[in-house]
A and B are shown apart, each in its own frame.
Chain A
Amino acid sequence: DADVTQTPRNRITKTGKRIMLECSQTKGHDRMYWYRQDPGLGLRLIYYSFDVKDINKGEISDGYSVSRQAQAKFSLSLESAIPNQTALYFCATMGHPYNEQFFGPGTRLTVL
């Protein structure tokens, strides 16, 4: 089955460390997204990409960067992690033309 996968699934790190979260998809979708989920705040968009040359900031991009290495891969980096970046991070793709988003299983990141 075509899928969206994320690695790692869980990560504990310390303040100031650089962290990379990876996302891969076999759905053949061009559009990919990174969200963070916090209790009471829902899902907030960090970055999104329509192809390897089209990268866009979302509503909460400060402190994050992304890389679209290929159509199937979209990585999220925290250059210098801080405790308020502790959250559940989701990668998603979007199909066309129905605009349905397909989500990965999530990465639980804890910054101490």
Chain B
Amino acid sequence: AQRVTQPEKLLSVFKGAPVELKCNYSYSGSPELFWYVQYSRQRLQLLLRHISRESIKGFTADLNKGETSFHLKKPFAQEEDSAMYYCALKGTGRRALTFGSGTRLQVQP
């Protein structure tokens, strides 16, 4: 079975502080990992995927297969980063994503 764990329900930081949203997964094969974001009153949207190895809005995430983690990081948080963040996994041959329970990021001024 595949599983995604986001241990923090809420992460509160001050503007300019570094941010790390944790995501751990359980899957025996080679997964695809994603981060989705949901801003207030907006629909979920893709933030980034591990295969792209890109930085979006200053966020990066590295897949660590040894630690089965895909943590989302940003060196300097901005108030507009405040949102709900979901980590998601797609297994080989699987036809749906498995989502974590989400972490609410609150960036205070």
Q: What residues of chain A have their CB less than 8 Å away from a CB belonging to chain B?
A: 31, 33, 35, 40-45, 48, 50, 56, 58, 90, 92, 94, 98-101, 103-106
B34: chain A residues at CB < 8 Å are: 99-100
How far apart are B44's CB and chain A's nearest CB, in angstroms? 4
Given A90-B44, A99-B32, A45 and B49 contact (CB-CB distance below 8 Å): no
Say whether B96 contacts A100, CB under 8 Å. no
Q: How far is the CA of A106 from the CA of B44 in the complex (A)?
A: 9
B45 within 8 A of A: yes
CA gap between A98 and B51 in the complex, in Å: 9
Q: Which residues of B, 59-109, contact A by the 8 Å Cβ criterion?
A: 86, 88, 90, 95-102
Is the Cβ of B45 less than 8 Å from the Cβ of A43? no
A-B contact pairs, 9 of them (CB 8 A): A31-B95, A42-B86, A45-B96, A45-B97, A98-B49, A99-B32, A100-B46, A101-B44, A105-B43
Most B C-beta atoms less than 10 A away, residue of A31, A101, A105: A101
Q: Determine whether the beta carbon of A101 is less than 8 Å from that of B46.
A: yes
Say yes or no: A50-B101 contact (C-beta < 8 A), given A42-B86, A103-B45, A105-B43: no
Q: How far is the CB of A32 from chain B (nearest CB, A)?
A: 11
